[in-house]
Structure 1
Amino acid sequence: MPEGPETGLTLVCGADRATAAATAASLRGRHGVLVAHDLRGLGEGVVHRRVVDDDGAADTVLELAHGCVACTLREDLLPLLLRLARDPAVRHVVLLLDPGMEPEAAAEALHTLVPEGADGPVTGVLALRGVVGVIDAETWLDDAGSDDALVERGLGLTADDERTVAQMVVAQAEFADVLVVAGRCATPWDRVRLEAVLDRLAPRAERLTVADPPGGAPEIAVELGADVVTRLAGLGPDARRGVPEDAHAPLLRGQPPLSRDAGVSLLHVGHRRPFHPERLHAAVDVLLHGTIRARGRVWVASQPEHVLWLESAGGALQVGFAGTWLAAGADEWDEVGDERRAAAALRWDDRFGDREQQLVVLVHDADPAGIVEALDAALLTDAELARGEAAWRRFPDPFEQRHVDPCDDLPGTGVESSGRREGER
């Protein structure tokens, strides 16, 4: 059996640049290299890169022909990681992501893009040990439920970056294998609520609480680094380890608690009948207030072949195309993995096949019953259901038009994004 790569790679992400940088530095260790890109000048085609090894730090200013994350990855980061992987003196690489770079998108690039001169992706020569997410205990919960734009916080990659702070901080926490919760909450009650949210948002993540930021004292950073390394080495078989999951993966992996705690609850919404497209479009507003996260697979009656992926964070929502239901044709079965085929076979319905609604909603400051009631009211009535598929296709469908320019997909899901934000119709 061939052995895997000897050189390890750890990703570190966080919205607070200083705290995330201090955490990443604590992980480098001897014979390790820390790589960080500052993308604040990306809109002007300028990227600042820092590489720290046992000999010190080297800073480089990169000028890109096209200022974008993809160019930074292809033209600099991936070739650099390939060179480090080939250096026998390097034992470990720590990659600190810019706060505006989503960890799942970066990990997907590591798994799929092939640098020039390589035989395969970077993960073929660097063993991705896991993702470390760093969050601010005092501000994270407010940020995760907000609709503030990244550009308002100086975190946007370009002046027209429409993503929100909630989308970023939720994605960073959700994708982490180890979560470093830095700082102190304003009150003990705030701490209880934060823990309840993280239990449900990132149930598979190991969690470390650091009352004082790791940049405050060297001994704190050393202790934190040792703790994180230990947690990464001890990750269980269910850990993601930086591997993106597609839109058809189970929504409740890690067995998050479904009971209510400190006003925080995780709703699992499952239905067999389809949604009426216009009523669903009106109902999704309930997912944008008092919630942290909603995500899942949706079936609208007017598109009986298509799986729609719905994903929200705070006050931002995206709905996109996530492939085809297996019930749409026999050929589809040969195009999907074993896990999806097994799940579909277990839940197969004589009339609808594998078509169903599967949503999870993380609620922290809203009435769960109101969310369930609004979504239930968006389902087809018995009379509408009886009219049949030919009639359903004629329903006016706000979800029919999908965003294609720019053509960014939802990171890590293989989902074509509709790009909808709160207030858009």
Structure 2
Amino acid sequence: MNRRIPVTVLSGYLGSGKTTLLTHLLTNQDTKKIAVIVNDMGEINVDASLIKQGAFSQTEEKLVELQNGCICCTLREDLIVEVKKLVDKGDLDYIIIESTGISEPIPVAQTFIYEDEEVGIHLSEICKLDAMVTVVDAYRFWHDFASGETLLDRKQATNENDHREIVDLLIDQIEFADIIVLNKVDLVEKEDIQELRDVVSKLNPEAKILESSFARIEIDEIMDTNLFDFEKASQAAGWIKELMQEHIPETEEYGVTSFVYKRQRPFHPERFMTWLENWPVDVVRAKGFFWLASRNETTGLLSQAGPSITIQGAGEWVATYSIEEQKEIVQQEPDLRKKWNEVYGDRMTELVMIGIDMKQKELVDSLDTCLLTEEEMKQDWTLFHDRLPAFS
């Protein structure tokens, strides 16, 4: 079997410096034959034209422009076909993909992991993902994080049904990355850089974090790193590690901490809704499962980043299954057996909180007031007033 071509994927929100990094990579190496796939949403492919003016005027690299869509949706198939075409031509050492500022990294990675049955191409046979790189604008990060804006608000959406929030995209790109480049650090105070670095390492403890101005990074920090591992990347997010009891050490100096709120008693829907409406500002990221009395059959999933809070259903509690099915599942999952309650089974709340200068005791106490009282535990839970959004 021929050597598989390594692939580096550059992600990052619009304006973070991905194109600058790409140009830097291309102009500062002269030994590799690199193919570049640039993907841009606009009708005018700004990224591609910039690259043409820069690195491509002096190099022979092949530029493939994928237009009218983004890697993570309509053009996934095009991406597969283009990558295959490039590899088949031979005489190639490396591929760099610059995804759009609004694309999510997981579907891009999946393109290289799973066979696309429609086109019958399995990229993992000819390529290997070397690293998922996310570029973060250190200067604008907190502004974008707290903006509360959607891609539609900024006229950056793929279509009128694309209601994704900027902050959710930022978090997705950080939590699924092997390397995170904090760019534009020359515009930020040293203490603020360290605080951001601490927050980012809480969000993704597995990632290698680099700092840069004008996206100037040593090439061997980004290419031929052999860092990507899909299973590891899928479990890299800080909130997942906390749920798996892998606590991430605190960084006392800048007050970045995390904890898991765990209770085997359901929330009262009205009090919990009021709590959500008054979200504590010191919590920058929260995610996990919750038990709501008025929806006793269904596991709730809460995800928060900055001003964005979403709740949805995450399937039925195992306790709702037949006795036979319960026994089978509990046998397969020893962890479930440990937390199984005689009366309520696996129903419980496990919420991971990551924040800056969090008042943990106050947070825990305020969440505890949302739990059912002894008296309410004996009542008919279906009668409780529930104005939380329906689980999707």
Of 14, 36, 39, which residue of structure 1 is paired with 2:38? 36
**Pair 1:282 & 2:274 matched:** yes
Choose 19-28 or 134-143, whichever is displaced more: 19-28
Counterparts in 2 of 1:342 and 1:22: CA distance versus 1, 3 Å:
farther
1:393 equivalent in structure 2 = 382
Residue in 1 that maps onto 2:340: 348
Alpha-carbon distance in 2 for matches of 1:77, 1:337: 42
Specify the alignment match of 2:349 in structure 1. Answer: 357
Q: Is there any run of 5+ residues in structure 2 with no aligned partner, and where? A: none
1:293 deviation in Å?
A: 1.1
Query: Quick one: percent identity of the two aligned structures?
Result: 21
Q: One-letter code of the match for 1:358?
A: E
- The letter of the residue matching 2:289 is R
Structure 2 counterpart of 1:101: 103
Select 2:73's aligned residue among 70, 74, 81. 70
- Show the 5 A alignment for 1:275-354: 275-287=267-279, 289-329=281-321, 330-331=324-325, 341-354=333-346
Alignment of 1:25-424 (within 5 A): 25-26=23-24, 30-41=32-43, 55-58=60-63, 60=65, 62=67, 70-74=73-77, 76-108=78-110, 110-112=112-114, 114=116, 116-118=118-120, 120=122, 122-123=123-124, 125-158=126-159, 161-184=162-185, 186-210=188-212, 212-214=213-215, 220-221=216-217, 223=218, 225-229=219-223, 232-233=225-226, 242-243=233-234, 250-252=241-243, 255-258=247-250, 260-287=252-279, 289-329=281-321, 330-331=324-325, 341-364=333-356, 367-387=359-379, 391-399=380-388, 401-402=390-391, 418=392
User: What amino acid sits opposite 1:299 in the alignment?
Assistant: W
Cα–Cα, structure 1 residues 337 and 135, in superposed 2: closer, same or farther, change >3 Å?
farther
CA spacing shift, 1:96–1:234, aligned 2, 3 Å = closer
Taking the aligned partners of 1:126 and 1:277, their CA distance within structure 2 comes to 49
Cα distance in 2, alignment partners of residues 314 and 287 from structure 1 = 9
| Post-superposition CA distance 1:281-324 (Å, at most 9, x none) | 22123436343211111121222332221111111111112222
| Superposed displacement of residue 98, structure 1 | 0.7
Q: Give the deviation of 1:115 after TM superposition.
A: 5.1
Contact 1:128 1:242 in 2 (8 A): no
Give deviations 1:335-386, integer Å, cap 9, x for gaps.
8996xx2321232222222221111122236644443233222111112223
**AA partner of residue 271 (structure 2):** R
Is contact 1:39-1:48 (8 Å) kept? no
Once residues 301 and 134 of structure 2 are traced to their aligned partners in structure 1, the CA distance between those partners, rounded to angstroms, is 25
Look up the SS of the partner of 1:355 in the other structure.
coil
Shift in alpha-carbon separation, 1:345–1:337, aligned structure 2, 3 A: closer
SS in 2 for 1:213: coil
Post-superposition shift, 1:100?
0.8
- Which blocks of at least 5 consecutive residues in structure 1 are unaligned? 215-219, 403-417, 419-425
Does the 8 A contact of 2:284 with 2:355 survive in 1? yes
Q: Distance in 2 between matches of 1:350 and 1:4?
A: 57
| Residue 56 of structure 1, CA deviation | 3.4
In structure 2, do the counterparts of structure 1 residues 177 and 318 end up closer, same or farther at CA, with 3 Å as the change threshold? same
TM-score (norm 1): 0.75
Cα distance 1:355–1:92, how it changes in 2: closer, same or farther (>3 A)?
Answer: farther
Distance 2:10 2:327 in 1: 37
* Equivalent residues of 1:174, 1:202 under 8 A apart: yes
| Amino acid aligned to 2:202 | R
Deviations, residues 42-98 of structure 1 (Å, cap 9, x unaligned): xxxx9889599962354647467xx99522223x12322343454543343222111
* Cα distance change, pair 86–255 in 1 and its aligned pair in 2 (3 A): farther
Alpha-carbon offset, residue 250 of structure 1: 4.6
Q: Is the 8 A contact 2:35 2:61 kept in 1?
A: no
Distance change (3 Å), C-alpha of 1:198 and 1:164: same
CA-to-aligned-CA distance 1:215-267 (integer Å, 9 cap, x gap): xxxxx45x2x212236x3367x8x85654789x95545664224654233223
Task: Give the TM-score taking structure 2 as reference length.
Answer: 0.80
- The C-alpha deviation readout for 1:152-211, integer Å capped at 9, x for no partner, is 44543335643222222222122211111112253233123212212311111111112x
Question: Given that residues 37 and 48 in structure 1 are in contact (C-alpha distance below 8 angstroms), is that contact kept between their aligned partners in structure 2?
Answer: no
Aligned-residue offset at 1:118: 1.4
In 1, Cα distance between the equivalents of 2:330 and 2:12? 34
In structure 2, how many angstroms separate the alpha carbons of the residues matched to 1:135 and 1:37? Answer: 18
Give me the CA root mean square deviation.
3.7
Aligned length: 376
Larger of the two Rg values belongs to structure: 2
Change (3 A) 1:59 1:175: closer
